[in-house]
Amino acid sequence: GQIQRIIAHSHHLKRTSLPWLQPQVRLGNGKISTAKLRMPSQSLFNKSVALLFNKRSTRTRVAAETAALLLGGQTLFLGKEDIQIGVNETVRDSARVIGGMCQGIFARVGAHEEIEELARYSPVPVMNALSSLWHPTQVLADILTLHEHAYLFDSSIPRPELEPYSQRHRELPPVRPITVAYVGDSANVLHDMLVAYPRLGHKVRVACPENDKYRPPKAVWDRVVELGCDKNILVTKDPREAVHGADLVVTDTWISMGQEAEKEQRLKDFEGYQVTEQLCREGGANPDWKFMHCLPRKQQEVDDEVFYGPRSLVFQVSDNRKWTIMAMFDLLFGKWNLMDRERET
Ligand code: CP
Ligand code: NVA
């Protein structure tokens, strides 16, 4: 229920906020309608969110900064060259100091343990903006995009008449159970897919090379099993087998941030894993399959035909990073209060 709640809240914030940015929409009959403006939640008014990023980011950073503004708050972008963390100061002390002045920490780290350490010592909530193991806010945007495009997977759902989004978009339709294929490296984005899609009733089929370092690590698989998701997941080394019956095909870079030195080896090991029309045709994907990628993208993992073609939902997903992060900021940072933490501890 928690994933659905965040998605519904993202949708609500998107349709209350977009009219502020773009108050006029063209209706199906060609007329122009001007929205009545209703303020989005101002739960971050007078509050500050630290963006503690020790790796590069385009989407996650821009989404966080623009979302916090709409909630009435401010962000502080703290890159690894800017602050003392890791060089002159421990993660533990940094968490206490930053958390003593801000109302939330959104952190992009290397090893996942770093975010655990931040969360342990921060007096305010800490949210994961990507770690070695997980990338939760990415998959929330994927799921919101699936809901907005539910009609692509189910002909009984009417295509929304209004483009762009407006306050007239009411509830999001449910997404019928689909088959999601992932072809590529077992990295942070896939790991969140493994613990999210089966809980929403979808099947996941994964192809990665038969080498432990390209397969889900134990910490991830333990969580998958704990949540009962493993029953709906197939892992194979054969990309054709993975895309069989797929409604949605997903991939990610073969060389994640921090793995640049392994580039040559990885390019060799992932040969044959590029997502193409031919691969999906030969594997027997649903002829109407759609495509997603968290970005940034390289041509090696998906060719231009698919990436820029009509199957691709990649830029709809990147737009939605903003609304799902806004929902998380609102719920976790804006509506949270210090007394909750005192009660917990
Ligand atoms: N998808 C994603 O997280 O992109 P950035 O690394 O640019 O934030
Ligand atoms: N797996 C990629 C995702 C980037 C958004 C990485 O960790 O670099």
Per-residue pLDDT tens digits for 209-218: 999 999 999 9
| Closest atom, ligand 1, to C-alpha of 55 | 6
Q: What is the pLDDT of residue 165?
A: 64
Question: Is residue 345 in a domain?
Answer: no
Structural element, H or E, at residue 98: helix 91-99
Q: What is the pLDDT of residue 38?
A: 84
Ligand nearest to the CA of 137: 1
Instruction: Say yes or no: 68 and 216 in one domain.
Output: no
Instruction: Say yes or no: 156 and 121 in one domain.
Output: no
Instruction: Say yes or no: 107 and 173 in one domain.
Output: no
CB atoms within 10 A of CB 57: 18
**Residue type present at position 284:** G
Instruction: Say yes or no: 99 and 231 in one domain.
Output: no
Mean residue pLDDT across the chain: 94
Q: What is the pLDDT of residue 30?
A: 81
Q: What is the pLDDT of residue 156?
A: 94
154 Cα to the center of ligand 1, angstroms:
30
Q: Are 229 and 206 in contact (CB under 8 A)?
A: no
Q: Which residue has better confidence, 342 or 311?
A: 311
What is the arithmetic mean of pLDDT over 162-186?
84
Q: What is the pLDDT of residue 109?
A: 98
| Closest atom, ligand 2, to C-alpha of 257 | 8
Which residue puts its alpha carbon closest to atom 6 of ligand 1? 57
Per-residue pLDDT tens digits for 221-249: 999 999 999 999 999 999 999 999 999 99
Q: Which positions are catalytic?
A: 294
Tell me the pTM: 0.95
The dihedral region occupied by 228, where left means phi > 0, alpha psi between -120 and 50, and beta the remainder, is: left
Instruction: Say yes or no: 129 and 13 in one domain.
Output: yes
Number of domains into which the chain is organized: 2
Ligand nearest to the CA of 253: 2
Lining residues, ligand 1, CB within 6 Å? 57-60, 130, 138, 294-296
Q: What is the pLDDT of residue 345?
A: 44
Question: Is residue 145 in a domain?
Answer: no
Q: What percent of the chain has pLDDT over 90?
A: 85
Instruction: Say yes or no: 272 and 225 in one domain.
Output: yes
Residue 339 has pLDDT above 80, yes or no: no
Question: Is residue 139 in a domain?
Answer: no
Structural element, H or E, at residue 79: strand 74-79
Enter the tokens of residue 155.
């002909």
Is ipTM > 0.90 here?
yes
Note down the domain range covering 182. Answer: 150-312
Q: What is the pLDDT of residue 342?
A: 54
Question: Is residue 343 in a domain?
Answer: no
Residue 24 has pLDDT above 90, yes or no: no
